[in-house]
């Protein structure tokens, strides 16, 4: 048996080490699969965000979806990690993360004007372009060219434009733009190239078809053949970058809808390099503390769980790469929750094993029974959370989708890790000879708690906290004209952009923020891009007087001319539509979880009680936002925080309900329902404390070590975890007992 155990443990160590190696160092020169290869969203990597509005007031859903698709293709010309999503009925936002040369991107992206292929000199005999020292240029406006009938095709005739590279046997590597026209465009282009090709050997302007975008000639190729198949190539690009830019420009003009720029800004990394570094440090320290805790409390099972947890974290990193998930701050929230649930599953299993050992069974039989009895609680807790993640992904948008993706991946991996990886490693240790009771510990009993008898007191405590939140909201509404301290993402505001002639001062973020705070009495989000001289200052909406003060601060302290300063209004990045989608998603997810719990527990009161506990936790978190308005604001992390608490709360409650269900089936004749509920909560109390503690470790470290934006997320999350632990132990069981007593008369 020891030989088998050694082989099992060797396999486990090799697999864990291999997964950890890939997660840290990756595979190959590109470091594929590593943490450094994970795509980062705008809130972590910085970049450019541009919002367009359709010129057409009421576009159809098909027009919008086609435009979003083509805008996605356009944005991918600048970054494969770019995201394009609709806002409401007539707006489209393009987010391009990890952009270092923002000025260049903004210049090349331009406005979404139309694209035209025009005769340099058409059948009308009028010359439309002329060559200058700077290249080709129009001799007259596009309106005149269109009126004169010298347009061959326009953007509506183009299906696609892609950069290509191929090896030519005569001239070597060629960089081209491959065009595909629709049926109407193919016919028009065949007619146009037929005319131009008739002058192929003349060297005249008639042989040229120029490509014009926003009244500028971007290319003026000669026609070397009649093209009648609906496909063409534009040759002569010096490299792949030039071909990509031209292809992107053509795709822009091929949009189904005409767009105008509503707003744009450079989005500096909200967390930034320092924030990412401190978050990773907090995560590493938290992981070490969790491993130490598990080993001390559970001995050999704790060692097995620690190895499994390392496997889980490594495979989570690999999965983010595998599924090309763009990691955002809400996505990190999903990972934190799934790590907590991974630890929780192990705690449930190990507690069961210790209980079985306490009844006198052998270690081997206790392990088998422990996994078997823990299965239903683990499956039910994880399935309800997965249901929530699926609903949030399909009904949510933006930050909600990011949260749902990482949560779903994390939950599935955590369940597999706990039920299979931990079990495999644990059996390896047992086969090596670690099958003594002292290696596992035992639980011979539990301290009986009188939860139901004290339920009215617990309800009063919760009521008092929630009442304090209501009072704070009323006071805030009177003093700051809003229930919470809304961040820029929710309230909108003013964006002021300026470009310096010299390199940016290294302390510009802190120094400018301090000056604005001193002069205007408000904080600012200051965004800069590496190797760029552009600075964007975002604040709450400023009055005319305050805008003048801000401009004076910039011109006085940074030697910027007033004509180089632009001030514009920036709408909420989390739009009304997104907030509505998030609310609908949470409500639908809650209903789906309620239905699942009803079916699994065969008792609707379990579902209602779970939802009441969930609402309790959300209200406590909202109370924290209202009371701590001077410390934390309601921004884009608000939704992520509430979603994290929803997942955490429902899982913690289900563990207790699973034990109530089991004990009700084995209820003795002299036991009342009150006795059963008290016993169930008492038996799972240690698990509730340990799970809350291990989840809190990382979040508290984030609150201590993280920068302000991370802290704004961590502080309410701490309150939510504490509220979730309290409600699962002190509220949920009492509410279920109250329902049962009122409608079933079981006591």
Higher-confidence position of 491 and 344: 344
Structure tokens at 556: 């006085």
Q: What is the pLDDT of residue 707?
A: 63
Return d(Cα 522, Cα 515) in angstroms, integer: 10
426 in Cβ contact with 702 (< 8 Å): no
Residue 623 above 90 pLDDT? yes
| Confidence label for 113 from pLDDT (cuts 50, 70 and 90) | low
Residue at token pair 């609402």: 615
Write the CA distances from 202 to 122, 196, 211, 224, 293, integer angstroms.
Answer: 14, 10, 21, 12, 84
| Confidence label for 268 from pLDDT (cuts 50, 70 and 90) | very low
Residue at token pair 């409650």: 653
Write the CA distances from 431 to 381, 391, 404, 435, 476, integer angstroms.
Answer: 31, 43, 40, 8, 63
Higher-confidence position of 624 and 501: 624
Higher-confidence position of 334 and 739: 739
Please choose, from the candidates 649, 615, 620, the residue with its C-alpha nearest in 3D space to the C-alpha of residue 715: 620
pLDDT above 70 covers a percentage of the chain that reads 84
pLDDT above 90 covers a percentage of the chain that reads 16
Per-residue pLDDT, averaged over 97-123, amounts to: 68
Structure tokens at 389: 């993640």
Higher-confidence position of 198 and 44: 198
> In b/e form, how buried is each residue of 477-495, taking b as 16+ CB within 10 angstroms?
eeeeeebbbbbbbbbbbbb
Of 318-332, 411-425, 567-581, give the lowest mean pLDDT range.
Answer: 567-581
Q: Round to the nearest angstrom and report the end-to-end CA distance of the chain.
A: 52
Q: What is the pLDDT of residue 271?
A: 42
Of 116-120, 326-330, 476-480, give the lowest mean pLDDT range.
Answer: 326-330
Of 52-61, 102-111, 670-679, give the lowest mean pLDDT range.
Answer: 102-111
Residue 107 above 60 pLDDT? no
Please choose, from the candidates 77, 103, 97, the residue with its C-alpha nearest in 3D space to the C-alpha of residue 242: 77
Of 203-207, 390-394, 572-576, give the lowest mean pLDDT range.
Answer: 572-576
Rg (CA), the chain: 31
Per-residue pLDDT, averaged over 490-505, amounts to: 74
Q: What is the pLDDT of residue 275?
A: 58
Return d(Cα 595, Cα 593) in angstroms, integer: 5
Q: What is the pLDDT of residue 747?
A: 44
Residue 572 above 70 pLDDT? no
| Confidence label for 745 from pLDDT (cuts 50, 70 and 90) | very low
Question: Directed axis angle between helix 636-665 and helix 329-358, to 10°?
Answer: 20
Residue 517 above 90 pLDDT? no
Please say whether the dihedral angle defined by the alpha carbons of residues 148, 150, 155 and 157, taken in this order, is positive or negative. Answer: positive
Of 273-287, 289-303, 383-397, 681-695, give the lowest mean pLDDT range.
Answer: 273-287
| Confidence label for 746 from pLDDT (cuts 50, 70 and 90) | very low
Per-residue pLDDT, averaged over 606-626, amounts to: 90
| Confidence label for 743 from pLDDT (cuts 50, 70 and 90) | low
Task: Express each pLDDT in 678-719 by its tens digit.
Answer: 999 998 888 888 888 888 888 888 788 776 667 777 888 899
Structural domains of the chain, with CATH = 47-112 (3.30.70.3400), 115-254 (3.30.1360), 271-439 (1.20.1640.10), 455-471+575-744 (1.20.1640.10), 493-570 (3.30.70.3400)
Task: Express each pLDDT in 269-282 by its tens digit.
Answer: 444 455 567 777 77
Per-residue pLDDT, averaged over 469-494, amounts to: 82
Phi and psi dihedrals of 54, rounded to 5?
Answer: -70, 140
Please choose, from the candidates 677, 636, 634, the residue with its C-alpha nearest in 3D space to the C-alpha of residue 659: 677
Contacts of residue 519, Cβ cutoff 8 Å, sequence gap at least 6: 549, 550, 553
Please choose, from the candidates 702, 721, 709, the residue with its C-alpha nearest in 3D space to the C-alpha of residue 620: 721
Please say whether the dihedral angle defined by the alpha carbons of residues 178, 184, 187 and 192, taken in this order, is positive or negative. Answer: negative
Q: What is the pLDDT of residue 318?
A: 92
Higher-confidence position of 219 and 73: 219
Residue 507 above 50 pLDDT? yes
Q: What is the pLDDT of residue 264?
A: 59
Residue at token pair 């978190």: 621
| Confidence label for 538 from pLDDT (cuts 50, 70 and 90) | confident
Give long-range contacts, CB 8 A cutoff, 24+ apart: 200-208.
200/224, 204/121, 205/120, 205/121, 205/127, 205/129, 206/119, 206/120, 206/121, 206/122, 207/120, 208/119, 208/120, 208/121, 208/129
Task: Express each pLDDT in 60-83 by its tens digit.
Answer: 887 787 778 777 766 776 776 677
Per-residue pLDDT, averaged over 544-550, amounts to: 78
Number of C-beta neighbours around residue 237 at 10 A: 21
644 in Cβ contact with 334 (< 8 Å): yes
Write the CA distances from 187 to 28, 197, 231, 577, integer angstroms.
Answer: 48, 15, 11, 42
98 in Cβ contact with 45 (< 8 Å): yes
Higher-confidence position of 337 and 669: 669
Please choose, from the candidates 54, 53, 40, the residue with its C-alpha nearest in 3D space to the C-alpha of residue 96: 40
Torsion of CA 557, 558, 563, 567, to 10 degrees: -80
Ramachandran area for residue 236 (φ above 0: left; ψ -120 to 50: alpha; else beta): left
Structure tokens at 254: 């091929």
616 in Cβ contact with 462 (< 8 Å): yes
| Confidence label for 292 from pLDDT (cuts 50, 70 and 90) | very high
Number of C-beta neighbours around residue 209 at 10 A: 24
| Confidence label for 31 from pLDDT (cuts 50, 70 and 90) | confident
370 in Cβ contact with 427 (< 8 Å): no
- Spell out the alpha helix ranges (H) of 604-731: 604-627, 636-665, 673-705, 708-726
Residue 589 above 80 pLDDT? no
Three-state SS string over 494-560 comes to EEEEEECCCCCCCCHHHHHHHHHHHHHCCCCEEEECCCCCEEEEEECCCCHHHHHHHHHHHHHHHCC
Q: What is the pLDDT of residue 616?
A: 92
| Confidence label for 255 from pLDDT (cuts 50, 70 and 90) | low
Higher-confidence position of 449 and 499: 449
Which of 57-61, 163-167, 303-307, 705-709 has the highest mean predicted lDDT (pLDDT)? 303-307
Q: What is the pLDDT of residue 115?
A: 80
Tell me the pLDDT of the chain averaged across its residues: 81
| Confidence label for 491 from pLDDT (cuts 50, 70 and 90) | low
Q: What is the pLDDT of residue 162?
A: 85
Of 326-340, 453-467, 616-630, give the lowest mean pLDDT range.
Answer: 326-340
Q: What is the pLDDT of residue 555?
A: 86
Higher-confidence position of 637 and 701: 701
Higher-confidence position of 301 and 133: 301
């Amino acid at each position: 048996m020891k030989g088998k155990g050694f082989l099992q443990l060797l396999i486990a160590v090799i697999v864990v080490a291999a997964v950890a190696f890939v997660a840290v160092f990756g595979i190959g020169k590109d470091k594929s699969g590593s943490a450094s290869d994970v795509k980062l969203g705008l809130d972590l990597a910085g970049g450019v965000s541009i919002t367009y509005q359709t010129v057409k007031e009421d576009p159809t859903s098909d027009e919008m979806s086609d435009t979003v698709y083509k805008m996605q293709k356009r944005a991918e010309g600048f970054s494969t990690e770019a995201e394009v999503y609709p806002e409401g009925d007539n707006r489209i936002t393009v987010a391009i993360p990890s952009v270092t040369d923002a000025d260049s991107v903004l210049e090349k992206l331009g406005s979404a004007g139309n694209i035209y292929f025009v005769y340099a000199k058409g059948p009308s005999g009028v010359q439309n372009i002329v060559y200058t020292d700077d290249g080709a240029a129009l001799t007259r406006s596009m309106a005149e060219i269109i009126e004169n009938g010298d347009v061959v095709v326009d953007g509506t005739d183009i299906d696609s434009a892609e950069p290509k590279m191929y090896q030519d046997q005569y001239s070597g590597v060629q960089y081209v733009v491959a065009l595909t026209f629709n049926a109407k465009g193919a016919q028009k282009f065949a007619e146009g190239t037929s005319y131009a090709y008739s002058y192929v050997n003349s060297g005249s302007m008639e042989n040229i078809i120029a490509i014009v975008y926003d009244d500028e000639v971007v290319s003026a190729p000669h026609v070397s053949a009649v093209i009648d198949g609906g496909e063409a190539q534009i040759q002569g690009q010096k490299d792949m970058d030039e071909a990509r830019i031209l292809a992107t420009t053509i795709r822009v003009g091929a949009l189904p809808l005409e767009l105008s720029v509503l707003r744009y800004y450079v989005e500096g990394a909200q967390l930034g390099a320092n924030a990412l570094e401190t978050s990773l440090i907090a995560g590493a320290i938290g992981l070490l503390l969790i491993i130490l805790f598990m080993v001390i409390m559970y001995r050999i099972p704790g060692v097995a769980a620690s190895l499994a947890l390392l496997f889980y974290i490594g495979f989570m990193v690999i999965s983010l790469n595998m599924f090309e998930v763009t990691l955002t701050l809400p996505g990190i929230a999903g990972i934190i929750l799934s790590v907590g649930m991974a630890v929780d599953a192990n705690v449930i299993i190990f507690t069961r094993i210790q209980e079985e050992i306490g009844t006198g069974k052998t270690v081997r039989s206790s392990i088998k029974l422990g996994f078997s009895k823990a299965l239903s609680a683990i499956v039910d807790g994880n399935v309800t959370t997965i249901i929530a993640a699926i609903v949030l992904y399909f009904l949510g948008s933006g930050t909600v989708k990011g949260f749902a993706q990482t949560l779903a991946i994390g939950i599935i991996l955590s369940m597999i890790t706990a039920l299979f990886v931990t079990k495999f490693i644990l059996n390896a240790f047992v086969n090596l000879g670690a099958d003594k009771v002292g290696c596992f510990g035992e639980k011979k009993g539990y301290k009986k708690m009188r939860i139901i008898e004290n339920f009215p007191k617990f309800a009063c405590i919760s009521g008092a906290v929630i009442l304090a939140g209501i009072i704070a909201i009323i006071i805030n509404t009177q003093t700051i004209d809003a229930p919470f301290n809304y961040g820029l993402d929710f309230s909108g505001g003013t964006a002021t952009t300026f470009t310096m002639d010299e390199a940016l001062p290294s302390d510009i973020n802190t120094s400018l923020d301090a000056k604005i705070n001193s002069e205007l009495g408000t904080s600012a989000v200051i965004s800069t891009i590496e190797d760029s001289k552009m600075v964007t200052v975002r604040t709450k909406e400023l009055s005319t007087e305050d805008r003048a003060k801000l401009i004076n601060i910039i011109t006085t302290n940074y030697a910027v001319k007033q004509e180089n300063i632009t001030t514009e209004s920036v709408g909420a990045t989390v739009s009304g539509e997104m907030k509505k989608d998030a609310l609908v998603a949470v409500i639908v997810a809650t209903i789906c979880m309620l239905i699942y719990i009803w079916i699994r527990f065969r008792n609707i009161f379990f579902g209602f009680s779970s939802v009441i506990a969930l609402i309790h936790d959300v209200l406590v978190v909202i109370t924290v936002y209202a009371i701590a308005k001077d410390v934390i604001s309601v921004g884009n992390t608000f939704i992520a925080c509430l979603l994290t608490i929803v997942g955490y709360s429902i899982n913690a409650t289900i563990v207790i309900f699973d034990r109530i269900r089991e004990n009700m089936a084995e209820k003795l004749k002299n036991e009342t329902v009150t006795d059963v509920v008290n016993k169930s909560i008492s038996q799972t109390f240690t698990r509730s404390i340990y799970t809350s503690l291990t989840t809190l470790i990382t979040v508290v470290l984030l609150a201590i070590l993280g920068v302000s934006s991370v802290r704004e997320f961590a502080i309410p999350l701490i309150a939510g975890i504490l509220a979730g632990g309290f409600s699962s132990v002190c509220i949920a069981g009492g509410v279920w007992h109250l329902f049962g007593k009122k409608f079933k008369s079981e006591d």
